[in-house]
Every structure is written in C-alpha cells, then in structure tokens.
Structure 1
Amino acid sequence: MFKVAASPERPETQDPRVPSRDKVVTRYLIDRLANEQPDKVLVKFDDNGEEWTYAAFREKILRTSIGLQSQGVSQGDHVLVFAPNSREQVLVFFALNYIGAVYVPINTAYKGSLLSHVINISDAKVAFVHASLVDRLEGIDTHNLEKLIVVGGKPASTVLPSVTYETALLPENGELAPLARPIEPWDPMSIIFTSGTTGPSKGVLSSYLHLFTNAGPESWPFVTSEDRYLINSPMFHIGGMGPMFCMLARGASFAMVERFDTTTYWDSVRNTEVTVAFLLGVMATFLEKLPEKDDDKDNPLRLVLMVPLASNAESFSKRFGVDVYTIFNMTEISTPIVSEPNPKVRGTCGKARDGVEVRLVDENDCEVPLGAVGEMLVRTDRPWGMNSGYHKNPEATAKAWRNGWFHTGDAFTQDADGNFFFVDRMKDAIRRRGENISSFEVEAEVCAHPAVREAAAVAVPSELGEDDVLVCVAPVEGNEINPAELIEFLRERMAYFMIPRYIRVLPDLPKTPSAKVLKHELRAEGVTQDTWDREEAGIKVKGERFTKAS
C-alpha cells in the first residue's frame, strides 16, 4: 500500500470561468474519481484486453510518483520523455503531473541536431528513454541531462548515468512527499514540440486549463462521461496525450491501440469497445476503400472526428453507422472551430464555438471582408484557455500573441452563415500523413550534404491527401547531385516522415532582388517532368505511420 502525505488546503477559485482544482488538475481529478467511481474502467489495452479501473490506476500512479520522486523529480521539474506509446509512458505522464512536474515528450523519430535542440529547450535533468532510442544520444550535446530512466530493456551502454524503469519506478512501498504548494489550474502541465517554419521546433507550454479547454466537456460537448476514446496517435502529439487527460476530466475512459492499421482497425474498435475516434481524412479514405462487408455497421463507434472533412464523409457515415464531426485545432489553441454532426456544407471546418472569439485578418491584423482570405486569430474567454507561450522563445511568443490575439498562421475564409473554410498555410510548414514538417529543418539537413549549395522544401499535393515533400536543390559548383544518394545521406539524419519524396535539381533557385528564394514559384511549378520521384525509384522509408489497404 502506498501512502500520500496530506495535501495543503485547496481553496476554490472565485472566477466562475476557472473550474475547481478537482475538476481540472490531474492530481485532484485522480483522487476524486478513484473515490467516486473506483470500479469504473479508465484504460483498456488492445493487445491483451487488460483493463485498469480508476482505483487501480490511482495505485499505479502513486507507485510511479514515489519512484519519480526517488529519482530526484520534484514539483515544477521538467522531465523529458523519449519513447513510443506504452503502459509505462501512460503512467509516467500522469505520475509526473500528479507530483506537479511537467511532461515533455519528444518525437521518437528525432535524431542529430534536432534532437539536441529539443533536449536543450526542455530544461530537463531527467529523461525517460526507451532502450532502442538510447544510442541516439551518442555524439550529440545532451545539455543539462543528468540521468536516464530506461524502459524496454537495458542497453549495452549509455552516455549518461542510467537506471532501469523496473529499478527506479516500481518501488514496493513508500510515502509520497508532500507538495510545496497546491497544483493550480494555470500551472504548466506539458511542453509539446511543434514544428517550426522559419526556425527550429518550438515547445508549446500548456497549463492544465489549456489541455482541459482543448477538448474538454465545453469544447467537445458531444463527447460524454460514458464514452471511450480510441488512442492510436503517439503521446508526443497533442492528439495522443491530450484526449487521455480530457477523458479523465470527464470521468470517462480511453483505449490504447499501438497504431492506425487499416486492415485491423475495425477489429481494434470492436475489441476495445470504443465509441469515439479521431480520423485524419486520409485514414477515412483508407477505411472506405476496404471491401464492403455486411457487418460494417456492427461496431461500437458512435462518432468520429474527421480532420479535414473528407469528400466521402457522408458515405462513410452511412456505411459505418457513425456521426461525423470536424474541427479546426492545433497544439497551441483549444478547438475554436467545431462543426455540427454530419455537416452538409462541403469543405467546412465548422463554426466558432462558445467561449472563443475568432477573426480573419490581413498582414496588419485588420479584418478582411466576408469571403476574403485572412489569417485566423483566436482568443478565449477563459483565462489560460490556450497556450502559455513558447518555452524559452520570447520572440516567437510575442510574435504569435501580438495585439492580444493568438495568430494561427493559417489562412481561412468565412461565409455569411459563419462557416469557416481552410485555404492554405500561411507558413512554409508541410503536413504529411498527420505529421507537421518544418521546411526550415528539411532544408538545413539537405544543405548539410557536401554537393548541395542551396535547397528549398515545399509542399506538393499527395494523392493520399495532405502533402508530400518536394525539395529543390542547386549543386555546389563542379558537383553533381544524385537524388538516390542524397536520400541515403538524409536517412541517417532525418525523421522518416521528413525525408523528401521528390527532388528537383536546378542550376540555381529562383530569388527575389533581396536574395530570398521564391518558394511560391517552386510550389506553383510543383512536380515537373525533370523531378525525381523516390517512390517511382522504389526507394522506401521505414516507419510510415499508416498501413494502406492492399
């Protein structure tokens, strides 16, 4: 049995827009719900059907929390998490928040200079790392890291002092050290890294209130305490870790599935008895291309969130017997745009929900006329209802939050009925199969090749929806660029999802008089006859997140 020292007094806030601690802060949520509904299932796992009730979950969290404290983790500390989804990571995520520490997950595909950069930004001294990823830390600056907690086996060697998960985080007994002060709704809960577009990746600082507002009962009123949400996204994405917390906040449940797989998707849905799921538009397309079966509607799903809204949404809804919603959201904000069920307006992202204000503006933050394209700006009525800035990046924070509004960097139009329509990214970001890619980071790695003088990465349409990556390169004088050899060079330096599909070799990249590359020209020209295609060349990349139906 694990013991918890008495908590300090927990005064209620006087602002009605801010819920009490036991409705929005992880520690007090777990304590309250384990008492109110101890036998209700919180988590179900697809691999073996294992279930954790609220009471059992609290015991596991207490044990993990005591283990973290024994490793020197205290309230307010940032802890880096570099591991694939697992039971252990679920426990570490919630246990860190239970003791008031900050969860800082990073993409498991990161390596090299990008990995070093996010470690530096994290301000972490302790890292929870999967054994298979430990060697990524070799040869890079690990900055302030002092200790590794290794899960998934014991590596032959580590660059830093290390302990195993079993040794460090599975104590037989103990007492949780008291908090220095109560954990408040506005305290930092996580730092989630999102791809930079004019610079390196930025760490989005989120409070408990931000995550609660992001997909909580007010933002997603169509999801109830009786629902079970399907988690098949990585926990280093807001789409993986955010819904876990928001289902806890409802007193609901979630199911853990290793990954999206077209051929096993409906088996997982039935096995875990999920009622709510998120689908990228390309996922929905893959599923609808499966051969029709008589029992397609025989599944527990009652609604899916489809983003973006696919052209086949109506037929998908009818075939699988689910309601379809769509939304607009990003890591920094809190679902400002939500549709009605089964929207009839093609291409819509929905309308502004209650509790948010949304504007479409020009480059001077002045309103654009109805129907015109403008950048979407957002703010919430609730204090701390969106991000708390970019960690250790005051310049980016000030730019994003200028004039008291958060600038999304995305272009939209709005019709007379209040429907919003996504037009394009005003940034140079590329989105490929659910991953946001920084053109800046792609270009930096491509230019590291000795034969490449300059490079520009742009998005081109993919036949599967979203984007593919086209890199236009110019050679160093006297050199030639072999596209296949360049891909092999990048394979060891880049996350798999960043590796370009298309490479176009040009003598020089088009530029403005001030020597800036004219990316819009390259984007408009797209895949030309002289563009090399990695997929046509039969060069594959390991690690793709989605499995296409054969």
Structure 2
Amino acid sequence: MIDDVLDPASPAVPTAEQCVLGPLLRRRAAAAPTAPYALMPDGDLWTYARTLRETEETAAALQALGVVPGELVLSWLPNGPDALRAWYGVNLAGAVLVPLNIAYRGAILRQVIADSGAEVLICRPSLAARLEESDGAVGAVRTVVLLPGPEDAAQDVAALAGRLATRFRVETELRADRAEFAEPVPAPRPWDPQTVIYTSGTTGPSKGVVSSYAHLYSSCTAAFHGMAGPEDRYLLQLPLFHAGGTIGAYGMLVHGGSVTVVPAFTTAEFWPLIRRTGTTLCTLLGVMATYLLKQPPLPQDTAHPLRAAYVIPFTEGATEFSKRFGVPVRALFNMTEVSCPVLSAPDHHPGVPMHCGEPRPGIAARVVDDHDREVADGVAGELVLRADRPWSFLSGYLGRPAETAAVWRNGWFHTGDTFRRAPDGGLVFVDRKKDAIRRRGENISSFEVEAQAVAHPGVLEAAAVAVPGDEGEDEVLLVVADRDPAAPVAPAALLEFLRERLAHFMLPRYIRVLPELPKTPTGKPTKHTLRADGVVAGTWDREAAGIRIRREKIV
C-alpha cells in the first residue's frame, strides 16, 4: 500500500501534492518511473514516466492554443489514450475538463456545450460530424481539435476539417514539445475545480457538477481505501465522462496502481480480458453482472486474478456472481455530486437486495421526510448527507446558484433518492424520489425526452416515465397525445424521429398514444398514474416490433 494517502475518514483537506494532478503525477513518476499506469486497448503500456510525458506534451499544445488556467475545455472522446491525455493535459495546464457523453447529439449536445461556455472542443472526427447537424453557433466553441481514431481515414478527416473550418479554427493534432510547457500561474489548489461533469436533470436540462481536486480525491480514497495498491490493476470500462470512470482512473494514480483501459464493457471479452491483463479490481454497473451470469458455466470460472468487485446496484445477482466466480463483492452508493458516502465491507452478503452498506466514517447520513424530519428505522425517506471534510462534495452546479442552494437546503445535501435504514444500521435503496430514469448506468432526464418528443409535429404533449425492464433496470415509457386525432402519431415513426435527437440510451422502448394525457388540477401530467399503469394493452414495444437500438461504436 502507498503510505502517503490521506485516510478518507480524516476531516483534513488533502494537500496539493496529494490530490492535484501535476504534483501527484510527478511524484508517482519520480518514485516509480517504469511502473505501469495504463494498459491501452491496443496493448500499448504507459508507465508513469510515459504518462507524465504524454500529459506534458498535451498540456504544452493546449497552452499553444491559448488555453489559460481556470478555462473550461470540452473533451468528447471514448475511453483510450486520447481521452486520458486530454484530461490530464487540461488539468496540468491549470484548466478544467468538461467531458461529454459520446452518445450526445442534437438539442442535448447543443445545450450542454452552450451551458459550459467552453471555447475549445477536443473530439473524434466521427463525433465532430454531429456538429454539422446544426447550422448555427455551437455554444461559445471557437476551436475544434480533431483527434482521429484507428478507424478514421485520413482523407475523411481532411474533408471534415475543411468543412468545419468555415465555422471554427480546426486543429488535427494535440501535441507539442514538453519543454514548451509552462507551469500554470496560479498553480491549481485542492479546492479548485478539475472537472465539470454533466449529469441528467430531473425537471430541467442536464446540469454541470463542478468537482474540485479534493472532491475527486475523496471519492477515490473512499472507494479504494484498504483495497488498492501498486500491485493492483483496475478495469477502466466505465466511461471517463462519468464519475465512475474518473474515480477508477484517478484512484489508481492516487494509490500507485494501474488501469486496463477499454472503450466499454463487453460480455464475451470480460473474463479473457481479466485473465490476459492481470486485472485485480473492477466495478460492475447495472446489468453487467447479470449478463456474465447468463454465460454458460466453464471449468475455469474461478481461475482469474480478479480479487474484488463493486456491484452496483447490489441485487440478488451480486451474491450469485460472487459464489460462481469466487470474487468478493462490495456494495456502494454514489452520485457525481458526492464522494462514495455509503459503502459496504468486503465480501458483502447482507441477504437484503439493494443493501448499499453503511455511511463511511466522516459522513453523516439521515433518512428524512419532505420537511427534513428524520423518519423511523425501516421507514422510507430521502437520504441526505454531509461530510466532515471540506470540499469533498460538489462545489456547485455550473452557473446554477439557485439549484445549488436547493440541493443543499438546511445544510444537508439532498440526494433525491429514497432509502430505509435496515436493522443492522445499513442503508437500503428503495426508489428515486426525483423524476429521473436510470438505464444501463445512465441517468435519463424525462424532461429532455419529452422536449424532443413534442418537437414532432404530430405530438401535442408528452410524458416519459420509468417502467420495469426485463433485466431489473428501468425502461423508458413515452406517453404522447396526438396533436390531430384524425392523423394519429405512428410509434415507429416517432421513434425514428427521436433517433436523430436523443442519445441511444434515452430512446423509449415503449410508446403509448392517448387522446389526452391525465393531468392534475393544475394541468401537470400525473406521472405517478402513468407509472402505476405501466405497459398496458395497446402499448407499442419496439423490441416486439423487431427494432434493436445499439450503442454507436466510437473508438
């Protein structure tokens, strides 16, 4: 174990040497220059010294573009070497990374880019092509840096760059002599922002969570305390545009370990990858554990180096996974805004589905009613949190002081999630209090789905709600009312309309067409009624119609 890591229970703010990218990476590279840090998808191995060099070359190039300390920089890249060096290079230059979900497109993409106010966008050419879907300005973006992937043909990149050059300054590389890098002034401090990660809105658009170095460090040390060290390798299969990915990558940097970088989880490749790369730690999100359990049993099921896994959410399948594959499992509750406040002991088998463990030392947790009064054990209420350590939760929502104040009302961070306290003192997840849908590890804003649905000329009004899916996760049910009853909306045509406007994971599986939506006396759709009704007779199901939605592969 590394002995310079601050105990997550300590109320002390970590030093810059402990948590800020530049000093931390330089210390690791000086202490163990040849030690592995990142095994890339193509098999290329980055040592700590190589990681520092890549980071300095990228930071020097960003400074040459005019990026200054405190500036927000957009990164729209899949997991891989470019995503990692862009993140670390931005931070080394003293700037703030804004990673974008690679599934974004249409109005949601434009809203997030505009909300960030960033002037520089680093992206894959295949993603940048989506910018051409809009004739107008793309937020404040002035410079687009195209970093081609292995499947991008040089002539196609050149053609795209030529078209984009009519609207933006376009660069096709992001690398400069590391000797040209200049230390940022002022130097980043632990409480300064290192990322702004966009998380789904509930009753409004997605909002940017401002995360400090101390916040990310607190998440990393909480997740890996007593668990990770220099000999460990974490499977980085969660995307770097989500907190789950950033905690894994930075957590191994903090603890002197390494990461196996892959673009995404694949069922068939999971165990061969674990064995081939010597990966010891991972996080299984959503239905990943379920998919692995559905594979035929093999004699070598327990022959692998994986020695611990977080399973989120902690369903009954987690224990089955542990027994079959011989892997101790842990539960964890986290949000982009907080720092792994609730987690379990190793080899967690509580006998209660959705049991997330207990509040970790240094975290105060209460389960409260709508007026912030604590409820009795066993009674469901909203989980509210606060931490002993300053700067260990979000610094706020970017440009949204009212929403920041609302989530922090009465001095407690309101998670918007409903829990009950178990007899053993642990916390059991019950439901989402907020009007959000969670599918395949992604939060989906019903507001954003509805906004695109009503853009269809035949839709008068819309309501999106969560209904149970086949794998224990949410599916999206979209209920719409016809604008003209004489020309009813065809569900398949509506889905096709939405495919050009929504990320793949936001597309509804079910569509129900009504003459009018049920409403409250104040005219708001009664979503609780639609949720309770669920998938009734006559509801269109895209799966039954033979329509399969697949994630677009970006490498």
Q: TM-score, length-normalised on structure 2?
A: 0.92
State which of 122, 131, 137 in structure 2 corresponds to 1:141. Answer: 137
Note the alpha carbon deviations across 1:130-168, whole angstroms, 9 max, x for none.
1011222222431211111111144252153343343xx
Note the alpha carbon deviations across 1:27-55, whole angstroms, 9 max, x for none.
000111111111110111243x2211111
Is the partner of 2:204 in helix, strand or coil? coil
Q: Which residue of 2 aligns with 1:229?
A: 234
Note the alpha carbon deviations across 1:70-112, whole angstroms, 9 max, x for none.
0111111100112222211110101111121100011112122
Please say if residues 150 and 162 of structure 1, whose CA atoms lie closer than 8 Å, have aligned partners that are also in contact: no
Is the partner of 1:494 in helix, strand or coil? coil
Quote the Cα distance in structure 2 between the aligned partners of 1:16 and 1:441. 38
State which of 328, 336, 342 in structure 2 corresponds to 1:331. Answer: 336
State which of 395, 399, 418 in structure 1 corresponds to 2:425. Answer: 418
Q: Give how far 1:399 is off.
A: 0.7
Aligned pair in 2 of structure 1 residues 288, 544: CA closer, same or farther (>3 Å)? farther
After TM superposition, the structure 1 stretch with the greater mean CA deviation from structure 2, 506-515 or 314-323, is 314-323
Q: Which residue of 2 aligns with 1:7?
A: none
1:76 aligns with 2:50: no
Q: Give how far 1:62 is off.
A: 1.0
Note the alpha carbon deviations across 1:285-335, whole angstroms, 9 max, x for none.
110111111111111100110001121222311221211001000100111
Q: Which runs of 4+ in 1 moved over 4 A?
A: none
Aligned pair in 2 of structure 1 residues 339, 16: CA closer, same or farther (>3 Å)? closer
Q: Which residue of 2 aligns with 1:127?
A: 121
State which of 444, 464, 467 in structure 2 corresponds to 1:460. Answer: 467
Aligned amino acid, residue 137 of structure 2:
D
Quote the Cα distance in structure 2 between the aligned partners of 1:263 and 1:542. 16
Count of equivalent residues? 528
Please say if residues 328 and 346 of structure 2, whose CA atoms lie closer than 8 Å, have aligned partners that are also in contact: yes
Q: Give how far 1:113 is off.
A: 1.7
1:265 aligns with 2:270: yes
Please say if residues 217 and 224 of structure 1, whose CA atoms lie closer than 8 Å, have aligned partners that are also in contact: no
Quote the Cα distance in structure 2 between the aligned partners of 1:400 and 1:16. 22
Q: Which residue of 2 aligns with 1:201?
A: 206
Q: Give how far 1:543 is off.
A: 1.1
Please say if residues 222 and 340 of structure 2, whose CA atoms lie closer than 8 Å, have aligned partners that are also in contact: no
State which of 21, 26, 47 in structure 2 corresponds to 1:53. Answer: 47
Note the alpha carbon deviations across 1:191-239, whole angstroms, 9 max, x for none.
0000001000000000001001112157643233431110112211111
Aligned pair in 2 of structure 1 residues 45, 219: CA closer, same or farther (>3 Å)? closer
Please say if residues 46 and 271 of structure 1, whose CA atoms lie closer than 8 Å, have aligned partners that are also in contact: no
Quote the Cα distance in structure 2 between the aligned partners of 1:323 and 1:173. 43
Is the partner of 1:474 in helix, strand or coil? strand
Q: Which residue of 2 aligns with 1:498?
A: 506
- Two-structure CA RMSD over aligned residues (Å): 1.6
Q: Which residue of 2 aligns with 1:548?
A: none
State which of 18, 27, 31 in structure 2 corresponds to 1:32. Answer: 27
Q: Which residue of 1 aligns with 2:543?
A: 535
Matches within 5 A, 1:359-370: 359-370=366-377
Structure 2, gaps ≥5 residues long: 1-9, 149-156
Q: Which residue of 2 aligns with 1:12?
A: none
Is the partner of 2:114 in helix, strand or coil? helix
Quote the Cα distance in structure 1 between the aligned partners of 2:230 and 2:341. 22
Aligned amino acid, residue 119 of structure 1:
I
Please say if residues 103 and 552 of structure 2, whose CA atoms lie closer than 8 Å, have aligned partners that are also in contact: no
Quote the Cα distance in structure 2 between the aligned partners of 1:66 and 1:491. 39
Q: TM-score, length-normalised on structure 1?
A: 0.93
Matches within 5 A, 1:66-465: 66-138=60-132, 139=134, 140-152=136-148, 153-154=157-158, 155=160, 156-158=162-164, 160-166=167-173, 169-172=174-177, 174-216=179-221, 220-345=225-350, 346-347=352-353, 348-465=355-472
Note the alpha carbon deviations across 1:446-485, whole angstroms, 9 max, x for none.
1111111111100001111210000111101333111011
Aligned pair in 2 of structure 1 residues 271, 45: CA closer, same or farther (>3 Å)? farther
Quote the Cα distance in structure 1 between the aligned partners of 2:204 and 2:286. 28
Is the partner of 2:267 in helix, strand or coil? coil
Please say if residues 115 and 139 of structure 2, whose CA atoms lie closer than 8 Å, have aligned partners that are also in contact: no
Structure 1, gaps ≥5 residues long: 1-14, 546-550
After TM superposition, the structure 1 stretch with the greater mean CA deviation from structure 2, 330-339 or 175-184, is 175-184
Aligned amino acid, residue 503 of structure 1:
I
1:521 aligns with 2:529: yes
Please say if residues 18 and 382 of structure 1, whose CA atoms lie closer than 8 Å, have aligned partners that are also in contact: yes
Please say if residues 23 and 249 of structure 1, whose CA atoms lie closer than 8 Å, have aligned partners that are also in contact: yes
Quote the Cα distance in structure 2 between the aligned partners of 1:223 and 1:174. 34
Quote the Cα distance in structure 1 between the aligned partners of 2:552 and 2:316. 24
State which of 33, 36, 40 in structure 2 corresponds to 1:41. Answer: 36
Q: Once the two structures are aligned, what percentage of the paired residues are identical?
A: 46
Q: Which residue of 1 aligns with 2:4?
A: none
Quote the Cα distance in structure 1 between the aligned partners of 2:93 and 2:404. 27
